[in-house]
Amino acid sequence: MFELERSDLTKSKGGLNPLYWKMQKVLNEKTGKTVQQKDPGRGPTLYAKLIYSKKTDKFRTQFFYLNDEPIEAHTLMGKYCHAKCAIKIESIFIGARISLQVKLYEAVVEPAKTGMKRLLPRPNAESEVQESECVTAADVMNDVMNDVMNNDQNDGEDSDAEQNKKPVRRVKRVVKKVNHSQRMSEKPLTPWVVCENSGKVLSAHCDCMAGLGESCSHVASLLWAIEAGCKRRDSLTVTDKKAYWVLPTSVKTVPYARVKDINFSKTPRSTSTVKPSNVTPPSETELTNFLNCIKDCPSKPALLSLIPAHSDFYVPKSVNPELPVVLSSLFDNSLADADYPTLLKKSEEAFELLQVTKKQQELVEEKTREQASSRLWFRMRTGRITALRE
């Protein structure tokens, strides 16, 4: 008599659901477990879901008469009914498979006097759309094309025809390329919006995953760009207004005069006499004490490099005569075109200069202990073959 099990007669989360989906057990190839899924090829069935109330010890349904009185459960049991539903397609997801998100607003159930007495309708029951209030993007685009055709056909007609025809809604379609939020290297998206001249947005779409709901961030960025462009178009630039001269605060009025009587030259600056300074210059002793004080500062003042008494402390360590000769200083540009005997003679002379004493070795080792943190370490290694002892 019924196609329901006791597990179906339970209260669903978020409210009562009058749609019943026929389920079947299928083996999941990935997990190897048996799961339940909706029977393919069969849509939902509308039925009076029975809810048992422990408080009243009665079964009840979620259907009501036209006078808002609840229908008793026993009046629907075993009766074949026709149902008219008011549903709304909230979103359509197009991917590997197409799925619809449908919301049921109202259903009118009419008991049938003939036919089999069963609560659920037949699987092959026919359905029809009584009324639709949904406005899709395709409808908006059709309105756009109709407006364009009406504008073309009405060009050249007399004023009477212009007064009798229906007002044409001016709409525009804006398409723009927008980069992805995270994947910048991928192909840009192409969101579009359809809006009226007043700025009212009629429809929007994007070819990203979230754009199927017509409310993604790429559509928002396109609308923001349109708004910024309109603000810039309607705003005044500095050349849109007539130039005006800002009067100095000391000038109250400017009298009219002929051009030949106006002096366009700049007013010369008033030269004031520099007052002589009464500061006594420092003595030699005071200047020496001052330089000695700044010498003891943690950082070396660049001024002391120009004072003969303190310039010795600013000589680079690499040019210290106590250090060996740096090989980079042996380069001689005049020998670029010299013959082989000349180069051989010059190399023998340079080899004599490369003699490193024991004292120079110890000094280099002491000055370059910081290695990579020392500039002298890199300078002394220039052109030399260095290695660690094993």
Instruction: Kindly report the average pLDDT of the chain as a whole number.
Output: 70
* Confidence (pTM): 0.27
Check pLDDT > 60 for residue 141.
no
Q: How many CA atoms lie within 13 A of 113 on its CB side?
A: 0
Q: Considering the domain boundaries, does residue 82 fall inside one? A: yes
Which structural domain range is residue 14 located in? 6-111
**pLDDT surpassing 60 at residue 383:** yes
The first and second tokens of residue 136, run together, are: 């899709």
In a domain, 283, yes or no: no
pLDDT tier at 388, thresholds 50, 70, 90 = low
- pLDDT tens for 293-343 read 888 888 888 888 888 888 877 766 555 557 777 777 777 788 888 888 888
User: What's the rounded Cα separation, in Å, for the pair 87 and 102?
Assistant: 7
Query: Which pLDDT band, with edges at 50, 70 and 90, does 125 fall under?
Result: very low
Among 42-51, 209-218, 225-234, 367-376, the minimum mean pLDDT is found in: 42-51
- Is residue 11 located within the same domain as residue 103? yes
Instruction: Give the dihedral of Cα atoms 13, 17, 22, 27; nearest 10 deg.
Output: -20
In terms of domains, do 102 and 177 share one?
no
Backbone dihedral region for residue 15 (phi beyond 0: left; psi -120 to 50: alpha; all else: beta) = left
Radius of gyration of the chain (CA): 47
62 within 8 A of 48, measured Cβ to Cβ: yes
Joined tokens for residue 366: 């002491």
Q: In Å, what is the CA distance from 5 to each residue of 14, 49, 84, 390? A: 21, 11, 25, 85
Q: How far is CA 261 from CA 244, 252, 267, in A?
A: 21, 20, 15
Q: Which residue has the higher pLDDT, 130 or 255?
A: 255
Q: In this structure, is residue 335 part of a structural domain? A: yes
Residue whose C-alpha is closest to residue 66's, from 50, 84, 52, 78: 84
**What is the C-alpha to C-alpha distance for residues 128 and 307, in angstroms, rounded to an integer?**
103
Q: Are residues 176 and 101 in the same domain?
A: no
Domain boundary among 234, 259, 282: 234
pLDDT surpasses 70 at 123: no
**55 — pLDDT class (breaks 50, 70, 90):** confident
Mean pLDDT of the 16-40 span: 73
85: confidence class by pLDDT, cuts 50, 70, 90: low
**Which one has a higher pLDDT value, 81 or 118?**
81
**Shared-domain flag, residues 102 and 22:** yes
Burial 81-112 (b: 16+ CB within 10 A, else e): bebebeeeeeeeeeeeeeeeeeeeeebebeee
Q: Which residue has the higher pLDDT, 371 or 43?
A: 371
Residue 67 lies in a domain: yes
Query: Residue 386's closest CA among 366, 358, 365?
Result: 365
Q: Is residue 240 part of a domain?
A: no
Residue 88 lies in a domain: yes
Q: Is the C-alpha dihedral spanning 316, 318, 319, 322 positive or negative?
A: positive
**Domain-ending residue, one of 194, 219, 234:** 234
Instruction: Check whether 20 has a pLDDT greater than 80.
Output: no
Question: Do 14 and 104 sit in the same domain of this protein?
Answer: yes
- Judge whether 48 lies within some domain: yes
pLDDT in tens, 227-260: 888 888 777 666 666 665 667 778 777 788 888 8
Average pLDDT over residues 81-85: 65
Q: What is the mean pLDDT of residues 49-78?
A: 66
State which amino acid sits at residue 277: S
The CB density around residue 4, as the number of other CB atoms within 10 Å, is 14
User: By the 8 A CB rule, do 38 and 54 touch?
Assistant: no
Write out the two tokens for 374: 């020392």
The answer to whether residues 107 and 10 belong to one domain is: yes
**What is the total count of domains within the chain?**
3
By DSSP bridging, strand 45-46 and strand 58-64 are unpaired
Residue 327: CB atoms within 10 A of its CB come to: 15
Under 8 Å between Cβ of 25 and 35: yes
74 vs 231: which has the higher pLDDT: 231
What per-residue confidence (pLDDT) applies to 219? 85
Find which of 100-109, 127-136, 167-176, 199-208 is predicted with most confidence, using mean pLDDT: 199-208
